[in-house]
Structures are given as structure tokens and as C-alpha cells.
Amino acid sequence: MVAIIGASVFSVVIVLSILIICGLPLGELTMGGQYKIFPKGLRIILVGQLVLQIFFVVIILQMGGFIPLWFSDNITKIICIVMAIYLSFNTVINFISKSKKEKLVMTPFSAISAICFWITAL
């Protein structure tokens, strides 16, 4: 169940990323709110990030036993732990962001996702 919650919360971030890539003015939710609308060059980078985000949703669902494993159980667990560490740091970074919107919106998403990745992995 925790893996489903983590995948769902992380999927909201994926949707936000897609909207930012499409040019919607949601840039204040990321990168310290530097850009209201992301420049095209940064949107291309976000596409790569989007692929990784989808991969990590698959990983948490695999670790939770909801879809078949692509990798061994140990490798999947390691990837899940690495993602949990990343999201834990990301939570801190979001919390100290200059952007109030990033603080209020992205910090809870990061924190919930991190907790779900930790619980699922361990």
C-alpha cells in the first residue's frame, strides 16, 4: 500500500513536470522559483528528468510487489534506497527554497515520496 501512495504522489510531480515542459507558468514550483515559465533549453533537460521520474515510479511499484521486477530484488532495493536518499535531500532543499510555492507544494510531495521509498525499500 505504501508503494502505491509513493507512486501516486510521485506521479503528481510527473504531471507537474509535463505541464512545465509544455510551457505552463508553474516554474515557481521548482528550482527556487527562478523561472515562472521555463526556458526551452531547460525544458529539454526536464524531459530527461521526466524519463527518470517514470522509471522511479516503476521501481517503487516493483519493490512493492505490484509489477514484475526488471532487475534482481537486490538491485531494485538499492535503486529504491538511492531514490529515498535523493528525495530526503530534495525535501530539505525544497524546504529552504526562496520560492514560497516550492516550499508549500513541493516539500510535502518530496517528504511523502521519500518516506514511501524508505518504507518500501526497507
52-63: pLDDT as tens digits: 999 999 999 999
Indicate the residue type of 33.
Answer: G
User: Tell me, what's the pLDDT at 28?
Assistant: 84
Mean pLDDT over residues 37-63, rounded? 91
Distance CA 88, CA 61 (A): 19
* Phi, psi angles (nearest 5°) of residue 22: -75, -5
Could you report the per-residue pLDDT of 104-118, keeping only the tens digit for each?
999 999 999 999 999
Q: What is the pLDDT of residue 19?
A: 92
- Residue ranges making up the domain that contains 19: 2-121
- Average pLDDT of the chain, as a whole number: 92
User: Is this prediction's pTM over 0.85?
Assistant: yes
How many structural domains does the chain have? 1
